[in-house]
Structure 1
Amino acid sequence: MYNVLIVDDEPMIRDGLKTIIPWTSYGFQVVDTAADAVDALKKYKAHQIDLMLMDIRMPGMDGLQLMSEIRNTDTRIHFIILSGYSEFEYAKRAINANVTGYLLKPVDEDELIQYLEIVRTKLQQEKGIELLEKDTLTFQKDHLLQTLIHLNKDEQEAITEESLTLFIDWVKYRLIVMELISKREVENKLLFDMKQRLKEIFEPEKGYVFMYEQKISILLKDHAITEEKLVDLYQKVTEVMIGDHSVCCSISKEFTNIKAINKAYHEVKSLLDRKFFYHENGFIQSDSQPTFQTRKNIEYVNKEFPLHSFAEKLYYAIDIANQMAIKDTLQEAAQVMVDLQFCEEKMKKSFVQLMTAILSKCSATKPELQSEITTITGNIGEIHYQHNIKQLINYLYTSLRKVIENLDIGDQTIQIKKLIDFIHRNYHENLKLEALAELFNYNSAYLGKLFKNYTGQYFNTYLDQVRMENAKTYLTQGLKVYRVAERVGYSNVDYFHHKFKKYVGMSPSKFRKSRVK
């Protein structure tokens, strides 16, 4: 609809003109009326007026003066003049002042409709030209920025200074690059809609929005950045998100030459390429700290991730229902992967392997949790859709917490009973009091004291006893000594031989001969 303002000092004429025809049927709407030129100026500024029906003679400023005042700043508005026979000389001056139409009072309905159709056609033509000019200018700006980003410094010399005038009047610049993150392929229409929303926010006063490499970019104009403004800017950028997609944003350092957009873009893009390793609650900048820093001077066997060791730690943490130990172990696993300089894909693949190993072991030893384990296993592919390390760890932690959420941690007595049960089920592993103390959230010396008070034996003595009793069972079954040693947790057969003889009073071989018929 095109907006109409009716200006006449006679109330009956104003009201009559509002009702004489069905304005909306011809593409117009009367947004207001005014009683004189001063009132008309005020209401013209309050609305975006396309057509003004105006009496040529009014008290104070007349219609011609009002037209001249408006034409100083607005050449697109259309005027239809209203006058009586006695004002014909004014009317001739009005026609020379480039008005669209001239109507004698009382206004004839059909004549007014004819003029409205003429005005509507002109407005449509003007709108088309305006859009074409705007599209042409947008294309020129987009092409210039895309060319500047694409070309290297030497190739940029071929760009004319005339082309650069599209942005050359800016004093300083910053560049924001946005990357949409989704489980499914991002549609071009979604990017276009987001781009249009951002244009409404930033153009033309604050910057310019364009596309490059399927990413939305915002060239900020003369934008001084404080921490507070950065937070506000991030909120403005991200509030245009549509649907269940998320977005990651990076912002460049300030630069003062538009040609430096090439360097700014590639620096910002390199940060986005490593977005997985950063937090998601703001812009990634050149001085942003990743979630985990690479630790130096740490050696890893064969420079490989110790999958079995972390699977074992996590299984123990689940076994004793220690949620904190689960989270700490997951974070330590991520830290080790960062130390080993794993890329995002390799890190996610390693966590899939780690989860598979844990859940497989839990499935074999905890049949009562089979339903929950099956559900988590079915959703393990979600690991690949986690946007950053923090989100990935939280996802894994939440999944494993569901496995143990019905297990009771209990008081000290229950804790010691759990520890004893744990020893009887895992005596064949390399159990250390210090490691178990961490899982149970105790100081190792204090846990050892509690254990001694409850069992009457020191931890290592009790563990040796459990191992020896199981070794006797295996030897009775006729297993070879070195096999028995392995099964009860001793990698050194001689050490096992020494321990067994001390505990039983005879060598493992002699014991087996005495029991095997």
Structure 2
Amino acid sequence: MNEQEKIQLLLVDDEASVVDSLAETLPWESIGVVNVFKAYSGREALEILSTNSVDIMISDIRMPGMSGLELLAQVRRSWKKLKFILLSGHAEFAYAQQAMAHETFDYLLKPVSDEEILSKVALAVETVRKERDEYRMHERVAMAFQESLPKLRGELLNELLQGFKYYPGRLESRLDSLKIRIGLGEPCSLMLVRVEGQLLEMDFYSLSLIEYAIGNMAEEWFEDRFRLWSCKSVHGYLAFVITPTSQSAGELPPEELEQELRQKASQLQLSVERYLRGTVSVLISQRGEFPRDVKRLYDDLLLALRRQVGNQNGLFVQVSDEIEQQPVHSLQKLYEPPLLLHLLESGNWDLTEEKLTGIWNELNQNWADSPEHLTEVFFAVYSSFASFSHKNGRELAAMIGPSLSDVAGLLPSRSISSLQSWIFDSFRMLRQSVENEARDDREIAVQKIKNYVQKHLVEDVSLQRLADYMYMHPVHVSRIFKLQTGENLSDYVLRLKMELAASLLANPAMKSYEISLQLGYQNPNYFNKVFKKYYSLTPQEYRQKLESSRED
């Protein structure tokens, strides 16, 4: 047996004969106890505990020198997980009851049989094993979480770069759980590193090692003044959120910190060239506030990359304020996660409608007179609706109707009001179509369940059997039946059985116990009880009532 699986027991009593007898005569192995230690006083018990791993202790309450309750108090201070079973006589029970209720695993009242002792210890063994399993599971989860931290941190940063919105409390909780040391409202900058040249010709594994090495280099160069949080962005670049350490923020003014940041970013670029024999372009953003400005700063870096770097390699760019002054701005709500298509696919209609409302509000507020923005929104929403329809195995016209799906002349994008009508009318038709399909599917499933129940009524029509037949989870079977019919599945089965029983009782040749067996009730008394609860009459009384009505 694995050392971690062993259960060890300690018996404590000042009567040596009692301890020796229990230790040597009871079949401890049969309940999972591997080793049994013996102690003849509280002091001796503490010495054994200090040098051995003990899981369960049985101690008498009345002992000279140190009582069982005093021993319990000592044990609770140092061995909190140990299962303590107290032996108590009837005379001491009232005295010890309160302590036992709060601090002992269980208690035994003398005189006690061997069976009682084994039964109590077996429960303690089961509890110890359950706690160990839970601890090991917690350890595995914690280890898996620790191993996944870099990936989880990168996913969160990517969401922020794309504009995903978090409630402040929710974001703080995620930052804390991922051990990311950055506060809401804290000043930050972004750095973008684009791997270039021959490094891009490497295979995936080699390139991943290079990117990992660049991240480590960045940590080394920046660690004395800054904290870094990095990811590989959806555009394939290495992105870093950079915040000054508390000490740096207190020692240096913002201008000197920015100068230090530029120097360290330049040193990183040179280090990649020297040690990794490759080329990277590095871009540094203006300062902003976390998390409010993260997406804006990232978009500025991407714009600078397109305008000032382009296809050139090995450039270093400090983004200026001028790049932020754009004559035309892009739509935000339309492209920030979660995307419209993803919300449709998730089946969350309320969030989808909220997303559409946000898109239209932004458009109406800022770009109501811009034909290009209107057309952009129309095509983006149309393509999401069409893609969703196709993934449901249908054409868009079949779901929202031919008039709404007709894009000839792009009439919906001619004005902000016509676009609003088209978006929300199409959404309502799409939702109604999907919900109708869901109802049809439920109706088909429920009819299939009913057919099976009616065909196998006198056999096994348990929920599990029905779930196996439908290839569904039992809970799902129960829910869709109740949702579609308004009746619990168990009530439906019972109703059919009782109706069949009532019809069989109309045949005087069939005895009550025969009907019981035919309906699958092996115990006629139980059948009588169920029948009476349903009809408020016993089977015999029901039969007599039928006969009386015939005579009348």
TM-score when scaled to structure 1?
Answer: 0.31
Comparing both structures, which one devotes a greater share of its residues to helix?
2
State which structure, 1 or 2, has the greater radius of gyration over its C-alpha atoms. 1
